[in-house]
């Protein structure tokens, strides 16, 4: 019998600047309609003001929640690992930490990998408690529980970026490598603020060590 349901989602997987944030909520099945009434949906379908407005309300509806902030250095360590770790497996470990803490009967998880079966098996091996896992793409669009988690993750990351913005006092842009403002910021400040960047991203490598990258292009 399902009594408590978890939703897990992330924000900030692709940006060059700032942390990856993974959030989980634990909701009593009877309280899911409250998330519906609140207007919870995939955070990408909501404005920043709407997400901010729902943040505390969601925390008031759910039984429990957990948010993990993964700094750029830990992302880099996973991406450049020689021990079999990668960004997907890093996310699985953090997701397992959340599920082990929340202990749901059932969990909806937005899958970061193209191979859902392999990711599900990897995640299951990290869990300490028995639960039903529903791992799929677009879970934040399909389930209110995951949508709620996506809002907590997105608002948390946006707040972290705001802190960085205040620290550097220069336009950061969106933090994505394709953003011209972000590209310009990296060119100017990659040496001054090394801790805020993901050094394993190709955009950073090209700017920070162009001669090395140019040499690699010849192979």
201 burial (CB, 10 Å; 0-12 / 13-18 / 19+) is buried
- The residues facing 67 across adjacent strands are 23
Query: Are 186 and 179 in contact, with CB atoms under 8 Å apart?
Result: no
Q: Are 46 and 106 in a shared domain?
A: yes
> Do 22 and 115 share a domain, yes or no?
yes
Residue 152 lies in a domain: yes
Residue 192 — left, alpha, or beta (φ > 0 → left; ψ -120 to 50 → alpha)?
Answer: alpha
Domain shared by 91 and 149, yes or no:
yes
What is the per-residue pLDDT for 212?
53
CA 72 to chain centre: 12
- Tallying the residues shown for the chain, one arrives at 219
217 belongs to a structural domain:
no
Shared domain check, 151 and 200: no
d(CA 82, CA 64): 36
CATH of the domain at 184: 1.10.10.460
205 assigned to some structural domain? yes
* pLDDT recorded at residue 109: 98
- 219 in a domain, yes or no? no
pLDDT band at 217 (very low <50, low <70, confident <90, very high): very low
Q: Are residues 17 and 81 in the same domain?
A: yes
Residues 59 and 118 in one domain: yes
Confidence (pTM): 0.93
Beta bridge partner(s), residue 64: 26
User: Within this chain, do residues 142 and 181 fall inside the same structural domain, yes or no?
Assistant: no
The domain of 199 spans 169-210
162-176 pLDDT per residue, tens: 999 999 999 998 888
Segment 69-121, tens digit of pLDDT: 999 999 999 999 988 899 999 999 999 999 999 999 999 999 999 999 999 99
pLDDT of 133 higher than 50: yes
26 lies in the same domain as 121: yes
CB 46 within 8 A of CB 192: no
Q: How many folded domains does the chain comprise?
A: 2
Mean predicted lDDT score pLDDT of the chain: 93
Q: What pLDDT is stored for residue 219 in this prediction?
A: 33
Smallest Cα–Cα separation from 172: which of 67, 17, 62?
17
CA 151 – CA 23 distance, rounded (Å):
9
Same domain flag for 95 and 179: no
Domain contains 122 = yes
Regarding whether 178 and 147 lie in a shared domain, the answer is no
Give the tens place of pLDDT for each residue, 5-37: 999 999 999 999 999 999 999 999 999 999 999
Same structural domain for residues 68 and 23?
yes
Angstrom distance (rounded) from CA 156 to CA 52: 9
């Amino acid at each position: 019998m399902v009594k408590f349901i978890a939703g897990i989602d992330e924000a900030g997987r692709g940006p060059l600047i700032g942390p990856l944030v993974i959030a989980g909520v634990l909701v009593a099945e009877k309280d899911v309609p409250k998330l519906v009434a609140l207007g919870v949906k995939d955070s990408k379908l909501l404005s920043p003001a709407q997400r901010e407005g729902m943040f505390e309300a969601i925390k008031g509806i759910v039984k429990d929640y957990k948010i993990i902030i993964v700094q750029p250095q830990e992302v880099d360590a996973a991406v450049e690992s020689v021990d079999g770790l990668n960004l997907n497996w890093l996310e699985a470990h953090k997701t397992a930490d959340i599920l082990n803490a929340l202990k749901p009967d059932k969990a909806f998880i937005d899958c970061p990998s193209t191979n859902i079966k392999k990711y599900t098996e990897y995640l299951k091996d990290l869990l300490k408690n028995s639960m039903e896992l529903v791992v799929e793409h677009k879970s934040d669009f399909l389930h209110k529980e995951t949508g709620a988690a996506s809002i907590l993750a997105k608002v948390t990351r946006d707040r972290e970026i705001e802190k960085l913005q205040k620290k550097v006092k220069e336009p950061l842009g969106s933090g994505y490598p394709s953003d011209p403002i972000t590209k310009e910021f990296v060119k100017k400040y990659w040496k001054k603020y090394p801790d805020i960047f993901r050094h394993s991203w190709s955009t950073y490598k090209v700017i920070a060590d162009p001669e090395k990258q140019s040499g690699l292009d010849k192979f």
